[in-house]
Structure 1
Amino acid sequence: MSDKRLYRSSVNYMLAGVCGGIAEYFNIDPTLIRLAWIVLTCMSCGTGIVAYIIAAIVIPK
């Protein structure tokens, strides 16, 4: 069983490392996660910003 954990990235970060950490967890390009997050934020009237802030607080570094 893999001991894979979700952490904020200290290498692939722009603001808090949330998107980079998610990308490392799923082993995909961080740019795709960032683009998806931007699209979801625009489509949901800013809810993505609140979700990002919560993720930055909840996900350990």
Structure 2
Amino acid sequence: MNKLYRSRTDSKLTGLCGGLAAYFGIDATIIRLAMVLGGFFSLGTVLLIYIIAAVVVPKEPGIEEYYSDNPYRY
């Protein structure tokens, strides 16, 4: 089962669009264009949802989180 994370590698602003693209298996450019168009046509509602989601969705775990949380590390 996939989990939704903000991307560390495919990040322009917060990594949310890159994480959504990885979750749905599509190109991040499509998600970014949809966010820009949605923000324009919704008069900022999508921008508000984007900001809330960027705060709520956790950052993708990296190697440093693995070693800091792993009690069996060397």
TM-score (normalised: structure 2): 0.77
Superposition map of 1:7-46 within 5 A? 7-46=5-44
Give the share of equivalent positions with the same residue, in percent. Answer: 51
Q: Aligned residue for 1:5?
A: 3
Please report the RMSD computed on the Cα atoms of aligned residues, expressed in angstroms.
0.6
Unaligned runs of 5+ in 1: none
Runs of 4+ aligned residues of structure 1 deviating over 4 Å after TM superposition are none
Could you tell me how far apart the structure 1 residues matched to 2:7 and 2:52 are? 16
Larger Rg: 2
Using structure 1 for the length normalisation, give the TM-score.
0.92
Structure 2 residues not aligned, in runs of 5+: 60-74
How far the C-alpha of 1:48 sits from its partner, in A, is 1.3
Q: How many residues in Structure 1 have an aligned counterpart in Structure 2?
A: 59
Q: Deviations over 1:1-53 (max 9, x none)?
A: xx210000001110100000000001110000000011110010011111111
